[in-house]
Amino acid sequence: MLKGIFPPITTPFVNDEIAFDKLAENISKWNRTKLAGYVVMGSNGESTFLTREEKLKLIENVKRNAGKDKILIAGTGSDSIKETISLTNDAAEIGADYALILTPSFFKGKMDSNSFIKYFTEVADKIVIPLIIYNVPKFTGVNIEAAPVSILSGHKNIIGLKNSSENVAHLSEIINVSTDDFVTLVGTASVLFTGLCAGAAGGVLALANIAPDMCVKVYDLFNEAKLKEARKLQAKLIPVNKAVTGKYGVAGLKAAMDVLGYFGGDPRAPLNKLNNNELEDLKTILSEAELL
């Protein structure tokens, strides 16, 4: 059963092309941590800017470099059911263990519970690896309700959900109504501790790219029932997480990686990289959290 902390790893670019050597270096560092595995082609992986060919090469490279004990989750969803099935099965063939599949979202007003049930059932029926639902209202503009998740949790190939909103009430409701073996992962470090309190099994955290040990430590402290210590450490994570998700986004996360000994590099266009003022602000935030 899936649990623990996963970073949605960034995709390094040099001259606008994926830098596989830099990727390998990053992974070799993460391999030495207690991270449970990697999410490749999550939102922070700039999946939206990659061609199909690039996506498959990326998965292949991550698989090759990941430690044997690390689980590999690939973000392979898009609005097209056909393409989602096709890409997921190609990803599975080259080593993806799980598929993280975005809620369909283009026709926002029309994506009701029935649409989500239809979409995820059709996909889950035809893919050869287990499906994790990916709910991220900030980017998709849609939110999957607890009721359809309850139904979908009964499908034998739909094993969990990553919830990337900060709405812990929604997370609690999903946990309450889904089957016992359904796994819920928080999708942002700001609610790691409270999400675990609510019953989440772990998290897919952008922050885990730059602070894997601190994220794992919150998780471990919680599981050792050291709640005060867990909450105290969580408090440190919040301002950094706010900077590398809300405020500066992927560009901020990559800049922080560069500052902290990983390879970050520039995000791909049309994302902007940080300017100097933003970079200085980011460094201050990292210092205050004792990461720098």
Identify the residue among 151, 167, 213, 258 touching its own copies (CB under 8 A).
Answer: 167
Going by C-alpha positions, the residue among 199, 6, 216 that lies closest to residue 100 is 6
Q: Is 250 in the site for its own copies (CB under 8 A)?
A: yes
Our CB check for its own copies shows the closer of 97 and 166 to be 166
Q: Is 155 in the site for its own copies (CB under 8 A)?
A: no
Identify the residue among 272, 280, 287, 288 touching its own copies (CB under 8 A).
Answer: 272
> Contact region for its own copies (CB under 8 A) — 64-72, 202-210, 243-251, 282-290?
243-251
> Is the Cβ–Cβ distance between 76 and 41 less than 8 Å?
yes
Q: Is 172 in the site for its own copies (CB under 8 A)?
A: yes
Identify the residue among 128, 141, 154, 288 touching its own copies (CB under 8 A).
Answer: 141
CA distance 232 to 190: 13
Closest distance of CB 241 from its own copies, Å: 8
Q: Is 135 in the site for its own copies (CB under 8 A)?
A: no
- φ, ψ of residue 9 to 5 degrees: the values are -70, 145
Residue 39-68 contact track with its own copies, rule CB under 8 A, x = bound? ----x----xxxxx-x--------------
CA distance 151 to 154: 6
Our CB check for its own copies shows the closer of 5 and 18 to be 18
Identify the residue among 246, 261, 284, 288 touching its own copies (CB under 8 A).
Answer: 246
CA distance 12 to 230: 32
- φ, ψ of residue 39 to 5 degrees: the values are -105, 120
> Is the Cβ–Cβ distance between 252 and 243 less than 8 Å?
yes
Our CB check for its own copies shows the closer of 34 and 118 to be 118
Across-strand partners of 163? 135, 186
To 5 degrees, how large is the angle CA 158–CA 246–CA 19?
75
Closest distance of CB 262 from its own copies, Å: 21
Whether the ω angle into residue 270 lies within 30 degrees of 0, i.e. cis, is: yes
Our CB check for its own copies shows the closer of 20 and 49 to be 49
> Is the Cβ–Cβ distance between 59 and 96 less than 8 Å?
yes
Q: Is 138 in the site for its own copies (CB under 8 A)?
A: yes
Exposure class string for 219-242: b at 16+ Cβ within 10 A, else e: bbbbeeeeeeebeebbebbbebbb
Our CB check for its own copies shows the closer of 12 and 104 to be 104
Which amino acid type is present at position 34? K
What is the 8-class DSSP label of residue 40? E
Q: What residues are labeled active site? A: 162
Binding site for its own copies (CB under 8 A): 43, 48-52, 54, 78-83, 86, 104, 106-112, 114-116, 118-119, 122, 138-139, 141, 166-170, 172-173, 176, 188, 190-191, 193-194, 197-199, 227, 231, 234-235, 238-239, 242, 246, 249-251, 268-272
